[in-house]
Amino acid sequence: MKSFCTALMICSTALGQTYTAERLSIEGVENIRLADAARGIEVFVAPSLGNNAWRMRVRGEDVLWAPYSGPAELKMKPAQGGNPFLAPWANRLDGDAYFANGKKYLLNPELGNFRRDQNGRPIHGLLVYSNAWEVTEVQAGPGGAQTTSRLEFYRYPDLMAQFPFAHVLWMTHRLKDGELEVRLRVENLAREPMPLAIGFHPYFRLADAPRDDWQVRVPARERVVLSAELLPTGERRAAGLPDPVLLRGTHLDDVFTGLVRERDGRAEFRVRGNKQQISVLFGPGYPVAVVYAPKGRNFICFEPMTAVTNAFNLAHAGRYPELQSVPPGGSWEASFWIRPEGF
């Protein structure tokens, strides 16, 4: 296969595989396209729209679900789909304040940079649709195709006003050997430990079977008990799920801990139709999973999380000792992988 490169496209042909990485404009929005021609996989990342990998396709078939047709509609009418990044807190807080390192910090609603759920709780942090990401790398080689972007959180007063921990985020999307790795690095520039309650909210779809026939694997020993407002009570119970879970008649919006890991340290969540299958593999940095599969909707979410919902306040109350943090001047890094098969 002929391989060529331009200033905007980087290509590599090796061992029967062709990886490409290119910067291009789609509907007036900058995108990074990663592709594996040998397997027919392509991934589109929109840095200015939350650095969201809003589309992943295998041989023309969508793996990620989204309610928008493309990046222009996402920009005009922001809605969750693809693979949103949730930070500096994922899921809900139980009020307009949170605790960190024994101190209480208040959110300022007048800044207008966070959303609320149906019960008025602050949800999913500040960065879901952020345009503050800067592309630092686009490359392809025998090791795959990848792009890295950086968000210098500390440079934005409106962000620091809500979460006053100076830090830098690095996110890498790497396509290799039929898997998309999403790697996140957090560098804490503050003089105090930075609590970590962040995560991703990817939406997945299958096309070869109706949603009610999908079979789901949830490798978890424990389920977090939630209130009617989907806030953890501090109690945990046995997960109590069959393997597999058939989605017919099933609604899932649950938080799981005690993940069961393979020898490589990854926990493999999976949804399967007739032949199509999507596996989401959580690295060790993600000890918590949210699984969301509402009735009547043609998607399922396997959400890698560093902590349970409302972790800042639960930890302060002594009901969540597992909260991770990044030491002053230190860093934290973790990955999860998306592996489509049978497409």
Q: What is the pLDDT of residue 85?
A: 98
How far is residue 254 from each of residues 48, 87, 124, 189, measured CA to CA in Å? 30, 19, 16, 33
Neighbour count for residue 201 (Cβ, 10 Å): 23
Give the torsion sign (CA, 68, 71, 73, 79). Answer: positive
Q: What is the pLDDT of residue 8?
A: 55
Report which residue type is found at 73: E
Report which residue type is found at 320: Y
Q: Copy the structure tokens of residue 125.
A: 């942090």
Q: Is 155 helix (H, G, I), strand (E, B) or coil?
A: helix
Q: Return d(Cα 7, Cα 10) in angstroms, integer.
A: 8
Neighbour count for residue 88 (Cβ, 10 Å): 23
Burial of 263 (C-beta count, 10 Å sphere; 0-12/13-18/19+): exposed
Q: What is the pLDDT of residue 219?
A: 98
- pTM flag (> 0.75): yes
Q: Which residues pair with 297 in a beta bridge?
A: none
Q: What is the pLDDT of residues 173-214, one digit of tens each?
A: 999 999 999 999 999 999 999 999 999 999 999 999 999 999
Burial of 66 (C-beta count, 10 Å sphere; 0-12/13-18/19+): buried
**Mean pLDDT (10-residue bins), the chain, 343 residues:** 46 69 97 96 98 98 97 96 98 98 98 97 98 97 96 98 98 98 98 98 98 98 97 96 96 97 97 98 98 97 98 98 98 98 97
Q: Are 265 and 282 in contact (CB under 8 A)?
A: no
Q: What is the pLDDT of residue 145?
A: 97
Q: Return d(Cα 308, Cα 56) in angstroms, integer.
A: 27
Report which residue type is found at 234: G
